[in-house]
Structure 1
Amino acid sequence: MCYSALVIQSQKKLARQLGAEFDEAAYEGLFFDRLNKPGIKIPKAMDDAVLAEGGRLGELVRDWRGRQAADLERLRAEQRERLEKALAKLAVKETKAALNDRRIATNKIAQYGKKLDDLERSEPEAEDSRIWPGEYSAVVVADGRRLIRPMRYQCRLPGWTAEIEKQFEGTYNARRDKLGSSWKRLFRKNHGLIVAEKFYERVDRDGRKVEMEFAPSTRELMLVPCLWSYDPQDRLYSFGAITDDPEPEVAATGHDRTPINIKPEYVDAWLSPESRSESELQAIFDDKRHPYYEHREAA
């Protein structure tokens, strides 16, 4: 699987890399929905890229951030009050409950403060572009022209409802050996691409679960093919990244999958699959790039 990845979210960078245009209607629909529906998770880098463009989309981001800041300030104030009460009790008598309240309140005050700082921070950080299953990412698709469209990283397959997809949480991972079965309604039809700097996996190491970071030693950006779907009822674009058997250095860490990394000359063919045979598309995967993936335990 690709448990997490550092994905380029900036439309300017994607335009330079792949000549793609901004799908403004799709972004506006997503950002409007976020104001009214809980649970929509968008990486800060995507918000920042949209905010830099200004206009109606920028207003939607500023509105959301304003609401978030107000909620965080309220939550932090509640924890400060909790901390004051705990300290007052501890000044009289040390109790387990008061110690616990002091610990929890102190941690939450710091947590809410960090989130507030991130909302206001203008300097980008690498983690701003990172996605996990259930979060949104910029995906390049072809619809008469190359478009950058925001999609959730966890595919809701055609015909599924929100309830059905809860039973299949692994649909962010489109296994190559399942494209003709589980993914057959999307393969050779709805193709996309994400541009990634790194990917992350959880592996067993010496009896403990650790997070490993993988990055091409060439420092080239990874062109990861995806399959996507659209649910008109929930106005939901969603996708899964295609993975293959692991590269040797990935397997050596204890993980059994690696995102496919196609060559730049195959981007057009991948994004326009309708007139291509399955063997032609599989040949793109057979001729994928094989950079050495440097790896380390993530910080």
Structure 2
Amino acid sequence: MCYSAQIRADYTKLVREFGATLSLDEFAQLYAHDAGKQRPKTPKAMDDGFIGARTPLGQDIVARIQQWHAEEMQTLDQELRVQSARLKQAEESLAHRPTQKARNEIRIAGNRIDRAQARLADLHRSGLLPRDSRIFPGVYAPVIVSEHGQRVIKPMRYQCRLPDKPARNDALYPGTYNARRDSLEAYWKNAFGHHHGVVVVQSFYEHVPRHAMEQRTLAPGENAQNVVLEFRPRPQRDLLIACLWSEWEGPEGRLLSFAAITDEPPRDVAEAGHDRCIVPIRRENLDAWLNPDPDDLGALYRILDDREPVELGYEEAA
């Protein structure tokens, strides 16, 4: 299953290359400060993509993002004060009487201080790093969909909640960020043939057993060990990943979310030791994919079969 991907979050490039319109209203709703709403999980590249916005609504989105950042900075500053006091107290306790409890307190406080400082540095940093475009389940990404025949970019959460499913399913079925091809007409039947999208990715990541990557069996007494591999197309280029999406409404509010379709792996991924892979579709099939005919599912399967030919290289992720 594709648990993480590095997305293309450059709105200008997405609009220019794919003739899509940016749904500013949807982004404004995502970043809105509604009562009781938690800060949406968005990659830095997606937030920073609005810097320099010229329209009033675009500038309003920038202001909303900055407000979220200011509130998060305030929370992180408070966390640093609390953990610094905790660390000092634990160090004093350890100096007076060495105990395992004091050592644990020093370790925990130190780790939390490091995380808070790293997050603050990210919020203050102006330039983008490759990890700023990386998404995980629960994180939002720009998804290209079709509305009245027009390509539109909307922000959606990477873990799909279907309209007929309760919110608790997010925790009960955490793997719903991927939609297996062999379940498209079962669990995903209300989305497949109805709500299709694509996410533009530059690379994706998979958990793979080390012995499978090394194409060997486990040695006697050896425990399986997972490694994270980053797969990149060679030569480097963007891939259009086939997705299903959903609009959900309930007491918790409104949610746009998506899942990436996975299928049998191509040779490159299988030889690396993984048994599933996301599906890159051809650009010439984009409109047919985004505007599906629910009465002709065979045509949709043919698009998934006629996938983008791509050589994938991989390396262990840092």
Kindly tell me: are residues 164 and 275 of structure 1, through their superposed partners in 2, closer, same or farther at Cα, counting changes over 3 Å? closer
Contact 2:43 2:132 in 1 (8 A): yes
Alignment of 1:11-30 (within 5 A): 11-30=11-30
**What residue identity is the alignment partner of 1:286?**
D
Alignment of 1:56-205 (within 5 A): 56-144=60-148, 145-205=150-210
**What residue identity is the alignment partner of 1:209?**
N
Contact 2:233 2:311 in 1 (8 A): yes
Kindly tell me: are residues 33 and 239 of structure 1, through their superposed partners in 2, closer, same or farther at Cα, counting changes over 3 Å? farther
Whether 1:219 aligns to 2:236 is: yes
Q: CA deviation at 1:273?
A: 1.2
Q: CA deviation at 1:129?
A: 0.9
Contact 1:243 1:260 in 2 (8 A): yes
Q: What is the DSSP-based 3-state SS (H/G/I as helix, E as strand, rest coil) of the residue aligned with 1:235?
A: strand
Q: CA deviation at 1:21?
A: 1.2
Q: CA deviation at 1:143?
A: 0.6
Contact 1:139 1:192 in 2 (8 A): yes
TM, length-normalised to structure 2: 0.89
Unaligned runs of at least 5 residues, structure 2? 212-223
Runs of 4 or more, structure 1, over 4 Å off, are: none
Q: CA deviation at 1:99?
A: 2.3
**What residue identity is the alignment partner of 2:147?**
D
Contact 2:33 2:64 in 1 (8 A): no
Which residue does the alignment assign to 1:259? 278
Residue by residue, what CA displacement relative to the aligned partner does 1:195-226 show, whole Å, maximum 9, x if unpaired?
Answer: 00001010111320111110111212110111
Q: CA deviation at 1:276?
A: 6.8
Task: Report sequence identity in percent.
Answer: 40
Aligned residues: 299
Residue by residue, what CA displacement relative to the aligned partner does 1:220-267 show, whole Å, maximum 9, x if unpaired?
Answer: 211011110001332100111111100112112221111111111111
Q: CA deviation at 1:150?
A: 0.4
Which residue does the alignment assign to 2:220? none
TM, length-normalised to structure 1: 0.95
Contact 1:7 1:131 in 2 (8 A): yes
Q: What is the DSSP-based 3-state SS (H/G/I as helix, E as strand, rest coil) of the residue aligned with 1:105?
A: helix
Q: What is the DSSP-based 3-state SS (H/G/I as helix, E as strand, rest coil) of the residue aligned with 1:182?
A: coil
Q: What is the DSSP-based 3-state SS (H/G/I as helix, E as strand, rest coil) of the residue aligned with 1:229?
A: strand
Whether 1:241 aligns to 2:260 is: yes
Q: Which of 309, 312, 317 pairs up with 1:290? A: 309
Which residue does the alignment assign to 1:50? 50
Kindly tell me: are residues 219 and 150 of structure 1, through their superposed partners in 2, closer, same or farther at Cα, counting changes over 3 Å? same
Q: Which of 232, 238, 242 pairs up with 2:249? A: 232
